[in-house]
Structure 1
Amino acid sequence: MKVSIITVVFNGAEHIRDCIESVLNQTYTDIEYIVVDGKSTDGTVDIIRSYGTKIAQFVSEPDKGLYDAMNKGIGMATGDVIGLLNADDFYRHDRVIDNMVATFVRTNSDAVYGDMIYVDRLDSQKLKRYWRSGWYRDNAFLWGWMPGHLSFFAKRWLYEKHGLFRLDMKSAADYELMLRFIHKNKAKLAYMDEVTIVMRAGGISNSSLKNRIRANQEDRIAWELNGLTPYFFTLWLKPLRKLKQYITKPPAIPTTTVK
């Protein structure tokens, strides 16, 4: 099973090496690594090019933002499965892709997701938040559930059949896409019960209260765009479910791969 991993970046020289190394150090070997740069000016491009052919496809050109860059990468991908990893973030250990592929094979699923942790932007050993996605149940989106976007690996045909990220959404395009794939079109899911992604705090939808409010408004639009009707409490439960993420602690890194 060929896996395409896509990293999008703009002026990310501070952390891009950690991201790239976490992909290249994976024990799984059939990985197509794609990097989409938004015409960085801080040395990011030189860092990326220093890896030569270890990065299968690389483009550096202006784009219309994060989701436009992701769509470019998806369009370039030739793998059976597509995963996204932002330039500030990295895989928690070197067997994440191995475990993910094993989960796909074992469950014959359309998409696989796991858990994520957020760490301090300057000190990656300082835990800020633990996003445990948990097991999916039918209609879980109605109860405010969603998996962490970067822990979500989907078969390429899902994008080909059901579409890419919407560029008219600022911070909820990931929610809208997963709502469309999972809740509306009933993609078959499998859960990796482990932390797969380490994110540095400060992402687009988490950096301010203003952005959080805007994201919640866009969540409502996501349901409307898909011709779906949430419960009256659905969009209140979604942010409330995240409060637990600041209290619970993640398990230790697993020592064996998923079989």
Structure 2
Amino acid sequence: MQPFLSIVTINYNNCIGLEKTIASVISQNYRNFEFLVIDGDSTDGSKAIVAKNKDRINYSISEPDTGIYNAMNKGIKAASGEYLLFLNSGDVLNGVIALESFILHPDFLGDIIYGDYKFEKGEKVYPEYLTPLFFVRSSL
């Protein structure tokens, strides 16, 4: 049996990033998931993007919140999946098999799973493979 996944996207006034994230999620080969979008009452066109994709988004809400953690808690409360993935606006999955690459391999599933990423902004490039030491250095 395939694990059921909840994908939660938090957004506030990032319609361009939200559109990329939605496209990334709905292009996945793995289909056993629900997609939730929690928006902080955006005024930049984000609501229209959610409305345009309402047939692919299982749950959405747009209302003021007190910050990202309040929005994340709303997503957690609304989610019903066995696993929860926070994929915030502007984040994308690496290819159409990103979800199935790990979720269909039970040896990889655990209580907490994080993804490696490569992010380019200007000339600063984050490592392609993250280690716990990266997070220690990043939080100092």
Q: Same fold judged by TM-score > 0.5?
A: yes
Partner SS, residue 93 of structure 1:
coil
More relative contact order in 1 or in 2 (CA 8 Å, sep 6+)? Answer: 2
1:31 to 30, 33, 38: 33
Measured in 1, the distance between the counterparts of 2:109 and 2:119 equals 30
Question: Quick one: percent identity of the two aligned structures?
Answer: 29
Measured in 2, the distance between the counterparts of 1:114 and 1:44 equals 26
Please tell me whether residue 11 in structure 1 is matched to residue 13 in structure 2. yes
Measured in 1, the distance between the counterparts of 2:108 and 2:17 equals 34
Match of 1:111 in 2: 112
Match of 2:129 in 1: 132
Match of 2:137 in 1: 239
Match of 1:120 in 2: 121
CA 1:79/1:241 → structure 2, altered by over 3 Å: closer, same or farther?
closer
Partner SS, residue 80 of structure 2:
coil
User: What are the residue-to-residue correspondences of 1:27-106 with 2, within 5 Å?
Assistant: 27-103=29-105, 105-106=106-107
Measured in 2, the distance between the counterparts of 1:108 and 1:13 equals 32
Match of 1:255 in 2: none
Measured in 2, the distance between the counterparts of 1:76 and 1:116 equals 27
Cα shift at 1:108: 5.3
Deviations 1:163-186 (A, max 9, x none): xxxxxxxxxxxxxxxxxxxxxxxx
CA 1:40/1:130 → structure 2, altered by over 3 Å: closer, same or farther?
same
Output the TM-score relative to the length of structure 2.
0.87
Cα shift at 1:71: 1.0
Aligned length, in residue pairs? 138
Contact 2:29-2:100 at 8 Å conserved across structures: yes
Measured in 1, the distance between the counterparts of 2:119 and 2:108 equals 28
Partner SS, residue 97 of structure 1:
helix
Partner SS, residue 28 of structure 2:
coil
Task: Tell me which amino acid in the other structure corresponds to 1:130.
Answer: P
